[in-house]
């Protein structure tokens, strides 16, 4: 049975089913857990959580007040009602044995293979699309942005990256059914979490980074333009007007009570280390950490994301482009970003020594320069060929990558469709 109680009535042995209020107001990222240590109890009662939902089937119930005990004793002929004991060991055992729901599975951080995580990531994207589209629409209508609305999206993206650091970003390379604005928001959120993970930021900061990535372009909703005329791709907006989105988004996020580091990232994601960015032309570490991270993640996804009339850059070519923009990005953060995604990020097309083109479908953690690839085109025969999967780190030199390749140069083939098919079978 679920029961709402005041935070002051929380006791050891209770099973917390839900913490009310925003998860930015408390230090607990688990939404369901047995309360079994005093430090956690003290920290919770000192937080800004107004109330909690407890599950009396999985933990102890709220103790009756003295008046309730006297009343109940009178009704029982003067026999006092004993308070229930704390059965922590029993309750903990029952919680561990309880089956997990679909929602719990999507917030689990237990590592999974990339193949298994693709399925989970696809569910996260489908669920997130509805939330993000609603948030952007309400912003367009002038409504306040509520952090609680997007917290579940951030949590599930964070969990997906923890389960497998490459699956979500790989999936976003072939999600052509999403409008650009939503595809970009989800992709940058996952990239921010991946970069934060590589930098060994705390889980709390990784989640904040993920929220920042999700909200970077919220200001686009407040621009005085007809967004439908852009076909859902705000890269078509006049540059002079578009530049205002950073300031507008920052101001609205702050007014909505979104954490300041998230709002600041929104303001600064177009700033550049050398001072050539906007809106304030900040330099170096005058740009916040999340702002410097966002500049890299936002630009990378901007480069690789397909537009209506053309394909985005190949991921490995986009990486090279970032490194060529000397002075624009924080060098240490850029190095961490490359380490997080790999020398040849998932979705890259590479030329093999055997004269074939192949798509990178997963990374080898032990040797990032030798990913798992799937061949699809013969350069010597100039035609599409049956797919062969190659684990370059374990093929003992039978084949190797000799260069990044540009599928646009092939002509006459529907590469986006091929890419989607290869990912689906990965």
What is the block-wise mean pLDDT of the chain (426 residues), using blocks of 10 residues? Answer: 88 86 53 75 80 89 60 49 41 37 74 86 89 84 82 93 91 73 92 97 95 94 79 80 96 92 97 97 98 98 80 89 94 95 92 96 86 95 94 91 88 85 78
Q: What is the pLDDT of residue 202?
A: 94
Residue from 150, 141, 135 nearest 181 by CA:
135
Q: What DSSP designation does 371 have?
A: -
Distances in whole angstroms, Cα of residue 143 to Cα of each of 83, 137, 194, 221, 259: 48, 9, 31, 11, 18
CA angle 279, 285, 291 (to 5 degrees): 50
Residue ranges of domains in the chain: 2-98, 104-341, 349-424
H or E element at residue 215:
helix 203-215
Distance of alpha carbon 99 from alpha carbon 58, whole angstroms: 13
H or E element at residue 349:
strand 349-352
CB atoms within 10 A of CB 297: 28
Q: Are strands 51-55 and 2-6 parallel, antiparallel or unpaired?
A: antiparallel
Q: What is the pLDDT of residue 103?
A: 59
Distance of alpha carbon 110 from alpha carbon 374, whole angstroms: 27
Residues 6+ apart with CB under 8 A from 110: 163
Distances in whole angstroms, Cα of residue 272 to Cα of each of 245, 247, 298, 315: 16, 16, 12, 21
Q: Are strands 51-55 and 349-352 parallel, antiparallel or unpaired?
A: unpaired
Q: What is the pLDDT of residue 94?
A: 36
Distance of alpha carbon 165 from alpha carbon 158, whole angstroms: 10
H or E element at residue 350:
strand 349-352
Q: Please report the sign of the dihedral spanned by the C-alpha atoms of residue 242, residue 244, residue 247, residue 250.
A: negative
Count how many residues are written for the chain.
Answer: 426
Distance of alpha carbon 367 from alpha carbon 205, whole angstroms: 28
Residue from 423, 173, 313, 41 nearest 190 by CA:
173
Superfamily of domain 104-341: Hypothetical protein af1432 (1.10.3210.10)
394 burial via Cβ count (<10 Å: 0-12, 13-18, 19+): exposed
H or E element at residue 123:
helix 114-140
Distance of alpha carbon 210 from alpha carbon 194, whole angstroms: 9
Q: What is the pLDDT of residue 390?
A: 96
User: What pTM was computed for the model?
Assistant: 0.75
């Amino acid at each position: 049975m679920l029961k709402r109680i005041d935070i002051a009535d929380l006791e050891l042995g209770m099973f917390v089913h839900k913490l009310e209020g925003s998860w930015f107001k408390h230090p607990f990222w688990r939404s369901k857990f047995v309360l079994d240590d005093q430090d956690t109890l003290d920290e919770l009662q000192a937080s800004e959580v107004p109330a909690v939902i407890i599950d009396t089937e999985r933990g102890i119930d709220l103790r009756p007040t003295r008046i309730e005990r006297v009343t109940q004793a009178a009704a029982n002929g003067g026999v006092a009602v004993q308070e229930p004991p704390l059965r922590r060991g029993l309750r903990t055992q029952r919680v561990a044995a309880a089956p997990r729901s679909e929602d719990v599975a999507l917030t689990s951080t237990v590592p999974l293979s990339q193949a298994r995580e693709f399925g989970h990531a696809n569910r996260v994207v489908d669920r997130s699309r509805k939330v993000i589209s609603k948030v952007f629409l309400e912003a367009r209508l002038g409504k306040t942005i509520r952090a609680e609305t997007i917290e579940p999206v951030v949590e599930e993206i964070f969990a997906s990256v923890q389960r497998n650091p490459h699956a979500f970003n790989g999936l976003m390379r072939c999600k052509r059914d999403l409008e650009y604005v939503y595809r970009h928001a989800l992709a940058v959120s996952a990239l921010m979490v991946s970069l934060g993970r590589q930098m060994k930021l705390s889980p709390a900061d990784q989640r904040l980074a993920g929220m920042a990535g999700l909200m970077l372009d919220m200001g686009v909703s407040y621009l005085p333009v007809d967004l439908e005329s852009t076909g859902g791709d705000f890269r078509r907006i006049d540059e002079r007007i578009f530049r205002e989105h950073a300031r507008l988004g920052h101001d609205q996020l702050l007014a909505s009570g979104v954490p300041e580091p998230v709002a600041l990232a929104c303001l600064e994601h177009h700033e550049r280390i050398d001072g050539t960015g906007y809106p304030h032309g900040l330099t170096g570490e005058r740009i916040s950490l999340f702002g410097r991270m966002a500049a890299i993640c936002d630009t990378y996804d901007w480069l690789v994301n397909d537009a209506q009339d053309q394909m985005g850059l190949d991921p490995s070519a986009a990486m090279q482009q970032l490194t060529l923009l000397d002075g624009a990005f924080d060098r240490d953060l850029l190095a961490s970003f490359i380490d997080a995604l790999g020398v040849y990020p998932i979705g890259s097309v590479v030329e093999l020594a055997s004269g074939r083109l192949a798509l990178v479908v997963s990374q080898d953690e032990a040797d990032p320069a030798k990913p798992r690839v799937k061949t699809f085109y013969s350069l010597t025969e100039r035609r599409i060929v049956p797919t062969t999967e190659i684990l370059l780190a374990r093929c003992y030199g039978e084949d190797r990558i000799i260069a990044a390749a540009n599928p646009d140069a092939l002509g006459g083939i529907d590469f986006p469709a091929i890419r989607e098919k290869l990912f689906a079978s990965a």
